[in-house]
Structure 1
Amino acid sequence: MIQWSHHLIIAPILVPLLASALLLFLDERQRVAKAMISVISTLLLVLIAFILLKIESGPNDFGGVYLLGNWAAPFGIVLVLDGLSALMLLLAALLGIAALVFSLARWHAKGAHFHSMFQLLLAGLNGAFLTGDLFNLFVFFEVMLAASYGLMLHGSGPLRVKAGMHYIAVNLVAALFFLIGVSLIYGTAGTLNMADLAARLPQIEPDRLMLLQAGAGVLGVAFLIKAGMWPLCFWLPTAYSAASAPVAGIFAILSKLGIYVILRLTMLLFGDGPLDGFGANALLLGGMVTLIYGIIGVLASQALGRLAGYSVLVSSGTLLMVLGINDGVVSSGALLYLVSSTFTISAFFMLIELVERGQDAGANVLAVTMEAYGEGDEDGIDEAEGVTMPGTMAILGLCFAACGILLAGLPPLSGFIAKFAMLSAMLGAGAIGVPPTAAVWTLIVLVILSGVASLIAMTRVGIRTFWGSLEGTVPRVLVIELTPVMFLLALTLLLTVWAGPAMQYMDTTIRTLGNPANYIEAVQKAYRVPGYQGAPTKVGDP
């Protein structure tokens, strides 16, 4: 008999999907009721994600394989829960509840169907993290994109509409590449189930293998667009900085969806066998260029939104380089870095809206101009010392400083621990007499430079924002807006305190991913409910 907990695997998809459908029946004037339904749904997702993470952390390598319709793989739709998918589900749920609570102050009333689109976005994300076949990955990818289009345009405004049109056009191209890549893979291998595809790879003829490589390459482009790899990333800083604060907060995980899929397929399909190492050099070189581009963008950014957008590229470039190196120990630290940087950037996007609320855009331009020409350096020398900072600005300043420490990777927070884990793993090869390669040394230097660049940029902008403001206006901040920011930063503090168990979980997850035979066996031997007619138990059954 299947345990009740086994059915929780499909719950992260069904809960937001049903909530989204229910919200459509409520009039926009019933904002309180819609907000309550949306919050309850997202809180349920957090609870379910915690339970699934606990189940996955048990003695088995896989928390479970869920056969929709009781059809065995590769005929039916398969949902797979393992360490990586459970981690991403929890990450999405925590970001979702923070962004949703932040939106309740005012943003959810700026346009129609905000809560429905928000829940659809979560359903698409969760489905993409759980699905075990490429076709349904495409379906959930489209659900997530369709919801993100509406959320990107939420709140109107000419700048947001312009950036939203670019965002929609780029992601439609990504979806087209996705469809072409999936078609090529299916035409070559005859299956889209990931486990079945991995099992069939050794039997594919060499001449057809080239066509499959072409399909995998086209499919990879779609997710590299989403991950923001250079030169496919020019749209990202503008789009993310133009989105409303809660939307940008949840969008912080969308680039990580591309990283997730690339990691999943790389470890499952391109680890051993005929496609061993496929695309690794492209990821390594692309990650390097992306990281360099992100560093330049961080240093050049004067607006806080642009700084946050380029910080996303710094995070993506670092993770893509680690995927290109394909070292399990380094990848464990990279997973912790993925979680820490996503929490940080999401909190930063929402914090920016609070900080800039009391500022004037013209005054910011004037401040930058004065800084560039050295004007005003001697002003105020004779003024009284010890200017008192209002309580609101003090709290915002502390949150801003925490974001700066995390982005720069300074101790003692989780950003430092994640980067230290990656760098120590890279240098660990030299401790056993095998010196790091040139690519590893390049990654070490770039990771350090990215931290220095973030520190310089955040310090410069922080001084101008909190100590050199021309207006001296204190923004009006509600508790419901500040709480989500502090919640996400508190999660990075928990990652710091529980760094040992967190790294142990990451190590176990990477080791499980590095052994695709377990994944293949779990999917192929997934339990079927007895007595159901019409569903084949294995390939070849009538």
Structure 2
Amino acid sequence: MMGVLDHLIIVPILLPLVSGAVMLLLDERRRGLKGGIGIATTVALLIVSIMLLRMADMAPPGSGVSTYQLGNWPAPFGIVLVLDRLSALMLVLTSVLGIASLQYALARWHRAGPRFHTIFQLQLMGLNGAFLTGDLFNLFVFFEVLLTASYGLVLHGDGTARVRAGLAYIAINLAASLLFLIGASLAYGVTGTLNMADLARRIPALAPGDAALFAAAAAILGTAFLMKAGAWPLNFWLPTTYAAASAPAAAIFAVMSKLGVYVILRLWTLVFGPDAGPLAGFGGDWLLAMGMLTMVFGSVGVLASQSLSRLAGCSVLVSSGTVIAAIGTGGGAVIGAALFYLVSSTLGIAALFLLIELVERLRDPGADVLAVTMEAYGEGDDDPEEEVGVAIPATVALLGGSFIACALLLAGLPPLAGFIGKFGMMAAMLKADGAAVQASTWALIGLLTLSGLATLIAMTRTGISSFWARMDNSVPRVRVIEMAPVLCLLLLCLGLTVGGGPAMRYIEAATQDLRTPQDYVTGVLGAPTAGSADAEARP
């Protein structure tokens, strides 16, 4: 018989599903009750995710795979959920951002439109299911669940810009979903399976003609996933959409863009690993090139951004491009450092999205026009009295300190965790074991440096205009429930810096799991069904 802990793997999917269904039955005017249910659900999700992370971490590197077979049907015939160190890490990251975004939304955003709490829980359900699923068909199902929920979150609120960006976002993702279906259908026609572990087992035995067809299917699937990850040239929609979305929606979208990166990493290391025969390493050069081009596009966008919200959206592109390029290098140590950077940059970007609305309250609606007028007519320069040593209000100081922390995180500067991730990637790429460092490696190192410099310049420019060049001395009204999520996310990034050793140890073990795909295949396809003799013999 299965124990209670064996059912934990499905809880991150069932809990938000049940919670969202219950809140759907409640009257829309009972937002306080819905908010309480939502917070309780996301906190429970975080607790369960941490328990799953500890379960995955207790297994030795290379064998940390746990499965949950729905209906007790063994893989590859039934639906299977798979937990390893990487999926557990993404579950925890999703739960953390879910709590922060929902708490921020309780200040006012959950009242801006109907069914916000149900939509938010379905978003979490889709994300968790996509991180846990072990086959492509159910990955498509969970993708559609989270995308449908994200349509509601993008359009939550009012405004022409939000509707325009939301409609474009829906059209782009419908096209990506069509590509997903075409690629999955072609892969199934060639291999006869959509289970990821079974795909990895069958790929080496494909005939040359079938291998070419599967490579085409993988290219189509990769295009769909790269669109969702925001890779160039398929990322033109992302900065506009994220800038137009509400603050809590944009914060949870920070991890949604990393879902595409996660799927690429999972499939590329599993299906096109060293045992894949002629298809081993398929697409690696393309990932490296597209990742680097995405970094260039995002860096230029960061420098050209005239608003803080669009700057944050372009920072998502820089983050995704960095991790995609690191995956394309194929180095285990590089991928491990990139995963550390993925976590820290996602937390930092989410904190920035939540902080933007609070920072913009510092700006008077007519301050920009007034500043341009005064500069044009030379007014404001002959004031004989200059204030010296004016005290900074606590609210402004707190917003400014949080803004500086976000800038350090996204630019990859010490002492915060973004620097550890970028430095780890550079050190791993330069550790060539006597071999000459390739030109592409030097180019990637240069882009890592220049993207950080571009972010620093853009954030400094925006910080000066927001905090130093204010036309009035008014102090914005910031509620504790709005500021607390930002500070918690930044404190978590600080914790990643202080506890960098244990965090890197866990991520190195997760990378080792990715580099031994045969252990994943054996763990999924060899998992016993409940009640079988093998299951009873397990410790």
- Normalising by structure 1, we get a TM-score of 0.95
* 2:297 counterpart of 1:293: yes
CA distance in 2, matches of 1:84, 1:45: 17
Partner residue of 1:92? Answer: 94
Note the alpha carbon deviations across 1:353-401, whole angstroms, 9 max, x for none. 1111242454336657988x89779565741212222111110000001
Partner residue of 1:408? Answer: 411
Note the alpha carbon deviations across 1:402-454, whole angstroms, 9 max, x for none. 0011111111111111111111111122xx32232111100100000111111
Q: What is the 5 A alignment of 1:109-188?
A: 109-188=111-190
The one-letter code of the counterpart of 1:333 is A
CA distance in 1, matches of 2:424, 2:86: 18
Alpha-carbon shift at residue 219 of structure 1 (Å): 0.6
**Aligned equivalent of 1:423, options 422, 426, 432:** 426
Partner residue of 1:540? Answer: none
* Structure 1 contact 52–63 (Cα < 8 Å) conserved: no
Partner residue of 2:36? Answer: 36
CA distance in 1, matches of 2:378, 2:142: 53
* Structure 1 contact 359–473 (Cα < 8 Å) conserved: no
Unaligned runs of 5+ in 1: 538-542
* 2:347 counterpart of 1:346: no
CA distance in 2, matches of 1:308, 1:10: 33
CA distance in 2, matches of 1:8, 1:374: 67
Partner residue of 2:325? Answer: 321
Q: What is the 5 A alignment of 1:46-85?
A: 46-60=46-60, 61-85=63-87
CA distance in 1, matches of 2:372, 2:162: 24
**Partner SS state of residue 253, structure 1:** helix
CA distance in 2, matches of 1:377, 1:160: 37
Partner residue of 2:286? Answer: 282
**Partner SS state of residue 64, structure 2:** coil
* Structure 1 contact 70–528 (Cα < 8 Å) conserved: yes
* 2:441 counterpart of 1:437: no
* Structure 1 contact 84–509 (Cα < 8 Å) conserved: yes
Note the alpha carbon deviations across 1:199-238, whole angstroms, 9 max, x for none. 0111211111111111111111111011111111111001
CA distance in 1, matches of 2:373, 2:284: 44
CA distance in 1, matches of 2:424, 2:267: 24
Paired positions, count: 530
CA distance in 1, matches of 2:498, 2:383: 43
Q: More deviation in 343-352 or 170-179? A: 170-179
**Aligned equivalent of 1:333, options 334, 337, 349:** 337
CA distance in 2, matches of 1:71, 1:441: 49
For residues 406 and 71 of structure 1, do their structure 2 counterparts lie closer, same or farther at Cα, with a shift above 3 Å needed? same
The one-letter code of the counterpart of 1:279 is G
CA distance in 2, matches of 1:282, 1:228: 15
The one-letter code of the counterpart of 1:207 is G
Alignment RMSD:
1.8
Partner residue of 2:537? Answer: none
**Partner SS state of residue 414, structure 2:** coil
Alpha-carbon shift at residue 289 of structure 1 (Å): 1.0
Note the alpha carbon deviations across 1:310-333, whole angstroms, 9 max, x for none. 100110111111111111011110
* Structure 1 contact 152–244 (Cα < 8 Å) conserved: yes
**Partner SS state of residue 29, structure 1:** coil
Note the alpha carbon deviations across 1:481-537, whole angstroms, 9 max, x for none. 0000000000001100110011111111111111110000001111211279xxxx9
Alpha-carbon shift at residue 473 of structure 1 (Å): 2.9
Q: More deviation in 12-21 or 432-441? A: 432-441
CA distance in 2, matches of 1:347, 1:282: 31
Alpha-carbon shift at residue 40 of structure 1 (Å): 0.7
Partner residue of 1:453? Answer: 454
Partner residue of 1:202? Answer: 204
Alpha-carbon shift at residue 472 of structure 1 (Å): 3.2
Partner residue of 1:310? Answer: 314
CA distance in 1, matches of 2:269, 2:147: 25
For residues 65 and 368 of structure 1, do their structure 2 counterparts lie closer, same or farther at Cα, with a shift above 3 Å needed? farther
Note the alpha carbon deviations across 1:230-266, whole angstroms, 9 max, x for none. 1111110010011000111101001100000000000
Q: More deviation in 344-353 or 417-426? A: 417-426
CA distance in 2, matches of 1:271, 1:333: 19
**Partner SS state of residue 65, structure 1:** strand
CA distance in 1, matches of 2:369, 2:46: 41
For residues 366 and 252 of structure 1, do their structure 2 counterparts lie closer, same or farther at Cα, with a shift above 3 Å needed? farther
* Structure 1 contact 367–464 (Cα < 8 Å) conserved: no
- Deviating above 6 A after TM superposition, structure 1's stretches of 4 or more consecutive aligned residues are 368-371, 373-377
* 2:389 counterpart of 1:399: no
CA distance in 2, matches of 1:114, 1:513: 37
Alpha-carbon shift at residue 98 of structure 1 (Å): 0.4
Q: More deviation in 521-530 or 240-249? A: 521-530
- Normalising by structure 2, we get a TM-score of 0.95
* Structure 1 contact 302–368 (Cα < 8 Å) conserved: no
Q: More deviation in 88-97 or 292-301? A: 292-301
Note the alpha carbon deviations across 1:44-102, whole angstroms, 9 max, x for none. 10000000000000134225111000001111001000011000000000000000000
* Structure 1 contact 149–168 (Cα < 8 Å) conserved: yes
Alpha-carbon shift at residue 276 of structure 1 (Å): 1.0
Alpha-carbon shift at residue 303 of structure 1 (Å): 0.6
CA distance in 1, matches of 2:373, 2:501: 47
The one-letter code of the counterpart of 1:390 is P
Percent identity between matched residues is 57
CA distance in 1, matches of 2:239, 2:378: 30
For residues 470 and 518 of structure 1, do their structure 2 counterparts lie closer, same or farther at Cα, with a shift above 3 Å needed? same
Alpha-carbon shift at residue 35 of structure 1 (Å): 0.6
* Structure 1 contact 201–274 (Cα < 8 Å) conserved: no
